[in-house]
Chain A
């Protein structure tokens, strides 16, 4: 009676989970999300901002890019609930008579657009760089990581200012306006890719020693297949965390550059430009031009930082 001979199965009747949707709803990630009020709040805020940015033209009739749609006669109006405020301009107007609400919504668009694009650029380049460096190892790795180190020793704002400066000097005056955004995206991406490269590299160094990579090598798979199909999917977790937190950082960098006058031109105002414009009027009592975009920026950055922090904890197996 010691055993049932030759019974090969070692499965107690396991429930079969099927659809990906059910799998997500049952996943630890979703459970931990449901249990974290901070994560829900941050996620809600982020969704609100994304919707506001996407739906800006439908929320406000005024288009701040179109001089015909605003009137300098109503400049520097206070918010609607204050004396002298008008109902049409809920958050007041700026020095040119543009509705601050419209400005913020469109500014949100620019800020998030720059954030998404620059992080996407930094992530794609950094990921491939880190993947190759970590996977090939040896001298390739040494050289590639020294390049990254050199890049990292420049402060990000300085790098962005430098690129912006070079672009301004190199481009003819007419194209500065049109290429302003592209330069900004590129500048931020350049200052951020090393973070992605390093994170991916360190994950790759861990993953490539695992036995599933040995198994793939025993099948004589092409190194690129091992890199992209086996190793890359296992570095996604830390990458997502980094992307979320750095999205917030990228928006801040954009605001800083715009505030310093190196970013987007004042005709296409981002949150940073608005804060800068408002800054000139702050001491004349017109506080709303700076304060409302400022609050928006803080909430936006806060939401994505919180989201990133939660994601990092939720994906960290040691904290579970």
Chain B
């Protein structure tokens, strides 16, 4: 896969939720690597398990849920079996996290400055004045005008786009090597989305930082990601170079998804569509979870679960693609 050691390596990560009388497994044995300076996209529809996968890495799975993994290593150091206290220090110092809704990451009762300075002081051995000047540097870096004044602002005084910039600044406080961005642009207007993506990419380039970009939007992936993992019903069904996946997907689901996205310039006839909808988490399958909706499904797709196999330069979990018929 990668020649040098990846910054993050995840092997067989599963997330399950204990229910009243059964266990719902929301993510099944996901494995992937993130290389230094790489933007890895994780894309999928709601309920596909993409957010859970990324949150599991930093131990942010709410109580009835639990994580199992063969290994999760950050620069070779295992982090999947850390206690709550240790994982909290990994999160923030080594891995920054950006959530969809900036308001969940910002405390409405404290100023932007308070929150930035506190986070900096928690993770770095700096005095308050040093932290303050660092906070100003960070705000400049994420493109916030008049940073000195902004330090005095409360979150509600900022627009959605500005808030998301502050959240990004918060995630950068301790110079993390990896940032997990969970739907960072979904709550924003289209023109602001482009700004935030451009900002993330610039930071990634300038700081040599890696990003896991979780989104439902193939457009965002096409813009920003170097590689992309496509998730469906809790499993990774395809991993490959973004260009490869976007332009020449192997998995029938990815193809259907790409076809279903309205594109300007096509003949204005019917949109291609995938019938049906994704099974709810907890639905058990003998074979491929997509077989029900798949146009090229064969008999064995319903009985045998496909494994993630190399097809050309991608990894695809599909019997048909693997046998070369669907290509």
Find out whether A and B make contact in their complex, taking CB atoms under 8 A apart as touching.
yes
CB nearest to A34 among chain B residues? B20
Contact B276 A1 (CB under 8 A): no
Give min CB distance, A249 to chain B, whole Å.
31
Q: Give chain A interface residues in 7-47, CB to chain B under 8 Å.
A: 7-12, 31-32, 34-35
Give min CB distance, A9 to chain B, whole Å.
6
Give min CB distance, A29 to chain B, whole Å.
12
Contact A12 B276 (CB under 8 A): yes
| Contact of A12 (CB < 8 Å), options: B20, B259, B279, B296 | B279
Contact indicator per residue, chain B 20-59, by CB within 8 Å of chain A (1) or not (0): 1100000000000000000000000000000000000000
Residue with the highest number of chain A CB atoms closer than 10 Å, among B256, B276, B292: B276
Contact B272 A5 (CB under 8 A): yes
Contact B295 A1 (CB under 8 A): yes
* Chain B interface SS verdict (over half): loop
| Contact of A10 (CB < 8 Å), options: B256, B276, B295 | B276
Contacts of B252 in A (CB 8 A): 1
The number of residues on chain A lying at the interface, defined by a beta carbon within 8 Å of a beta carbon of chain B, is: 16
Contacts of A34 in B (CB 8 A): 20
Does B275 belong to the interface (CB within 8 Å)?
A: yes
Interface residues on B, range: 20 to 34
Q: Give chain A interface residues in 26-74, CB to chain B under 8 Å.
A: 31-32, 34-35
| Contact of A6 (CB < 8 Å), options: B20, B21, B270, B279 | B270
Contact A4 B275 (CB under 8 A): yes
Count: A-B pairs, CB below 8 Å:
47
Does A3 belong to the interface (CB within 8 Å)?
A: yes
Does B326 belong to the interface (CB within 8 Å)?
A: yes
Does B188 belong to the interface (CB within 8 Å)?
A: no
With A31-B21, A32-B20, A35-B20 already in contact, the answer to whether A3 and B256 are too (CB < 8 A) is yes
CA distance A79 to B279 in the complex (A): 64
CB nearest to B293 among chain A residues? A12
Contact A2 B277 (CB under 8 A): no
Q: Give chain B interface residues in 86-131, CB to chain A under 8 Å.
A: none
CA distance A5 to B258 in the complex (A): 15
| Contact of B274 (CB < 8 Å), options: A3, A31, A32, A35 | A3
Give min CB distance, A2 to chain B, whole Å.
4
Contact A3 B259 (CB under 8 A): yes
Does B273 belong to the interface (CB within 8 Å)?
A: yes
CB nearest to B283 among chain A residues? A12
CA distance A35 to B258 in the complex (A): 44
CB nearest to B274 among chain A residues? A3
Contact A3 B272 (CB under 8 A): yes
Residue with the highest number of chain B CB atoms closer than 10 Å, among A1, A8, A9: A1
Give min CB distance, A31 to chain B, whole Å.
5
Contact A31 B259 (CB under 8 A): no
Does B134 belong to the interface (CB within 8 Å)?
A: no
CA distance A196 to B313 in the complex (A): 65
CB nearest to B320 among chain A residues? A1
CB nearest to B260 among chain A residues? A3
Does B255 belong to the interface (CB within 8 Å)?
A: yes
Contacts of A10 in B (CB 8 A): 275-277
CA distance A158 to B296 in the complex (A): 76
CA distance A8 to B277 in the complex (A): 11
Contacts of A9 in B (CB 8 A): 275-276
CB nearest to A2 among chain B residues? B259
Contact A12 B277 (CB under 8 A): yes
CB nearest to A28 among chain B residues? B20
Q: List 17 A-B contacts (CB under 8 A).
A: A1-B255, A1-B295, A1-B326, A2-B255, A2-B258, A2-B259, A3-B256, A3-B259, A3-B273, A4-B273, A5-B273, A6-B270, A7-B275, A8-B275, A9-B275, A12-B277, A34-B20
Other CB < 8 Å A-B pairs besides A1-B326, A3-B274, A32-B20, 20 of them?
A: A1-B252, A2-B255, A2-B256, A2-B258, A2-B272, A3-B256, A3-B259, A3-B272, A3-B295, A4-B273, A4-B275, A5-B272, A7-B273, A7-B275, A9-B275, A9-B276, A11-B277, A12-B277, A12-B279, A12-B293
Residues of chain B having any CB pair with chain A under 8 Å: 20-21, 252, 255-256, 258-260, 270, 272-277, 279, 292-293, 295-296, 326
Nearest 8 interchain pairs by C-beta = A2-B259, A3-B272, A7-B275, A2-B272, A10-B277, A10-B276, A31-B20, A3-B273
Residues of chain A having any CB pair with chain B under 8 Å: 1-12, 31-32, 34-35
